[in-house]
Amino acid sequence: MKFDWDALPATLESKMLPGTVGKMHLTGLARTAMQLGNVQLGAEMLLAAWEADPLDGMLAGQLLAFLPESNEPGLRTVLEGLAKAWQPDSYIQRLQEQAKIDQLFSVLENKLAGKECSLFLLQRAVELGLTLRPLEWAKQFLESPWPENIRPAIEYTLSGVELMLGDIEQARDRCRALLPILPLSGVLNRIAECELRMGNRDQALAVWHDALAGRPWDVSTLLKVHDVTHGLDQKVSFLDGPVNIFLYTFNKANELDQALGTLADTALDNAHLTVLDNGSEDDTQGVLAKWQEQFGTDRFDTISLPINIGAPAARNWLMHTQGAAERPWSIYLDDDAMVPHDWLGRLGAAVEAYPDAGVWGCKVIDAQFPHVIQNADLHPRPDYAEDGVFPVGETSDLHHQTFDTGGFDFLRPCASVTGCCHLFRTDTLLESGGFDIALSPSQFDDFDHDLRMLLNGKKAVYQGHLAVRHMKQSGKLSQQGGMAYFNGVANHSKLKAKHEDGGWEQIRTFAHEAARADIRRKAEQLYED
């Protein structure tokens, strides 16, 4: 399992640091490796890219060129079958390009249920359906009769859907049956994930070590296996002192009620809640009165403003409320975020693992489609076209290229974490200068705050073993438009301009070094174990 990280070209390593998941990201890594002359590593990465989307017949055809004739005949037969069956449908492509989502799903459903079904249609139905429809919608098409020579790829895809549905034993057994035909690290990873979720930790680790032996450069798996090996995936450690929990809200009475309800089901003995109502016109005041009675006025404060002052100003107001400075910890929580019962202990474990960080955050999943990751650890986004160049102001989107099958369940430093749920030491928060009101009414003010802290030597830390459900759709689920969209574009432009004159290069360097040192340390620990 030992991998010579020092022999890896620096430009390639920097692009691997965000992780090794996602078809597009892995394809970019493969291209970079081959451009740098490491064809074998590039072929391994291209194979991993295909494993991320086994129904992609075009990628299967490209992979065939790098697979020796004598190597894995079962895999070659599957890839040849996929490549031959791949027939793009221009009408489907046009509907997708025009974002005619409802019409697209209607056409896909009619064709796949009739006589016009094809691998291309199935791949599009699965890719889009897993994001925008219940999991069962895509599963029904995967379970239809398909030619035997491509069936293993469909079975592997089906195992991922079963894992997300909670049919864990079925997913494990399906992958075990596939191993003779597809003896791949991706299949081993899925078996290991199933074993872990079934409580078979030793079996999971044994399988994961086999997977890493075949793919020791797999950063995402390495991080996950390290945490399971050392029990960090189960660790809870409560914060040493009272906690401020800050929420601000605007016209989200129903969501706020649910968010406060999940908070009430957790251990909050050492916490004080403050909710700022940003001029709501719905029943927010009634919701606040209800929960203030339940929590008690000694533990629950409200602030009611006549107008909406925006997110950054609301955050700043909350951090300066009376008594807040006396509590050593402060957490901002969205008014539509639902936390699990052990959320404070999970954040405490992140603090214990990385006590010198400036901010600690979590994985955010969609409340309606919990297999969809809205946010995870953010790193400077690689530009695969030119070595060593990172687009200004852009962050990695690997969590949008895949689904939540365990690939982001790890704890590590990064450039930024989501503002949906993030923890600060109160004194550090008060010394940070607050959130920039130039980024009002919302979007990117939390990101900018994390970047400023990073430039001051305080990194962000991602706690992927804490998943917070978010009731607002975002990322690849969101079809946001209108003023909110254009405000986001404008704020992003402000953010990019704000950190010009070398700021982005410093951000990239600091984030790169923190992630690099962390990965190498964990790789060495695993090798010693």
Q: CA 256, 259, 264 angle in degrees (round to 5)?
A: 120
**DSSP one-letter string for 386-406:** STT---TT-B--GGGSS--SS
H or E stretch at 424? strand 421-425
The burial class, CB within 10 Å (0-12 / 13-18 / 19+), for 244 is: buried
Q: pLDDT band at 483, cuts 50/70/90?
A: low
Chain centroid to CA 364: 7
Decide: 529 and 229 in contact? Cβ < 8 Å: yes
Cβ-contact 187, 84 below 8 angstroms: no
Least confident span in 384-393, 455-464, 490-499: 384-393
Task: Say if CB 347 and CB 425 are below 8 A apart.
Answer: no
| Banded pLDDT at 1 (limits 50, 70, 90) | low
Q: What confidence category does residue 230 fall into, taking pLDDT thresholds of 50, 70 and 90?
A: very high
- CB of 507 within 8 A of CB of 514? no
Pairing of strands 460-470, 337-338: antiparallel
**How far is residue 282's CA from residue 267's CA, in Å, rounded to a whole number?**
29
pLDDT in tens, 342-359: 999 999 999 999 999 999
Q: Please state, in angstroms and rounded to a whole number, the distance separating the CA atoms of residues 313 and 436.
A: 8
Task: Locate the domains of the chain by residue range.
Answer: 53-183, 243-520
pLDDT tens-digit readout, 197-214: 999 999 999 999 999 999
User: What confidence category does residue 472 fall into, taking pLDDT thresholds of 50, 70 and 90?
Assistant: confident
Which pair of structure tokens corresponds to residue 467? 């998943």
Cα atoms in the 13 Å half-sphere on the side-chain side of 367: 15
The C-alpha atoms of residue 206 and residue 194 are separated, in whole angstroms, by: 13
Spatial separation of the C-alpha atoms in residues 486 and 194, rounded to whole Å: 42
**Long-range CB contacts for residues 317-324, cutoff 8 Å, separation at least 24:** 317/276, 318/244, 318/246, 318/248, 318/274, 318/276, 319/244, 319/246, 319/426, 319/429, 319/430, 319/434, 320/430, 321/274, 323/272, 324/244, 324/274, 324/426
What tokens does 190 get? Answer: 């899925």
DSSP assignment, residue 382?
P
Spatial separation of the C-alpha atoms in residues 411 and 54, rounded to whole Å: 28
Mean pLDDT throughout 254-282?
A: 95
User: Phi then psi for 466, rounded to 5 degrees?
Assistant: -115, 115
Alpha carbons 58 and 44: distance in angstroms, whole number: 17
Name the helix (H) or strand (E) containing 466. Answer: strand 460-470
| Integer Cα distance of 311 and 420 in angstroms | 12
Taking only the tens place, the pLDDT of each residue in 431-451 is 998 998 988 887 889 999 999
Structural tokens at position 7: 């022999």
Token pair 């107001």: residue: 317
| Segment 399-416 mean pLDDT | 96
Which has the closest alpha carbon to 280: 312, 258, 249?
249
Mean pLDDT across 466-487: 71
Sign of CA dihedral 47, 48, 54, 59: negative
Determine what percent of the chain is predicted with pLDDT higher than 70: 95
Q: Does position 117 have pLDDT exceeding 90, yes or no? A: no
The tokens describing 377, both together, are: 């650890």
DSSP 148-183: TTTHHHHHHHHHHHHHHHT-HHHHHHHHHHHTTT--
Sign, Cα dihedral of 78, 81, 84, 85: negative
Residues 243-520, CATH architecture: Alpha-Beta Complex (3.90)
- Is pTM beyond 0.85? Reply is yes
Give the confidence band of 523 by pLDDT, cuts at 50, 70, 90: very high
pLDDT of residue 168: 98
Indicate if the alpha-carbon torsion angle 83, 86, 87, 93 is positive or negative: negative
Q: Is the pLDDT of residue 386 over 90?
A: no
